[in-house]
Amino acid sequence: MRHVDFSPLYRSTVGFDRLFTMLDSLGQPDNGQASYPPYNIERTGEDSYRITMAVAGFAEDEIAIEAHRNVLSIKGERNSESTGEGSEILYRGIASRAFERRFQLADHVDVVGAKLKNGLLHIDLKRTIPEELKPRKIAISTASDKAAKQIETTAH
């Protein structure tokens, strides 16, 4: 994929740095990490989501989850695995490599919790829109003739 230079746009825009960084990162390969570990993203409610990631063989203390600004990072690093005395692994089909997966989160999306169960890491997310950003309903009042204020009158 061709690299697009957004630097001319930086001079004429204010506050769009994050957008250009996201667009720029779309074209960069993920160094072979695009498919490991596999994950699902699902909507569990109107404002709630869940990321489910297959992390078979990883313990809770080997996985680190960090939310910073609008980026959710999940890192996994296995401790050295020792085989039994006198045994050797002939075929390794269960991946044990370290991984790091990043997710871009929308504004006002927060991590509610995470749990590891049966080799699946479930991360629950919730969108909480502040009150000042929620739409408000404005009541329309009708002015009756009696309640209308009189500004000018003729006294003669």
Q: What residue spans in the chain does CATH classification 2.60.40.790 cover?
A: 32-81+89-129
Series of mean pLDDT values for 10-residue runs along the chain (156 residues): 63 63 61 72 90 90 91 87 72 81 88 92 91 83 64 67
pLDDT of the residue at 140: 87
Q: What is the tens place of the pLDDT at every residue in 83-107?
A: 567 788 888 777 778 899 998 888 8
pTM for the structure as a whole: 0.63
Q: What is the tens place of the pLDDT at every residue in 18-38?
A: 666 666 666 555 544 557 889
**Class of 32-81+89-129 per CATH?**
mainly beta
Q: What is the 3-state secondary structure (H, E, C) of the chain?
A: CCCCCCHHHHCCCCCCHHHHHHHHHHCCCCCCCCCCCCEEEEECCCCEEEEEEECCCCCHHHEEEEEECCEEEEEECCCCCCCCCCCCCCCCCCCCCCEEEEEECCCCEEEEEEEEECCEEEEEEEECCCHHHCCCCCCCCCCCCCCCCCCCCCCC
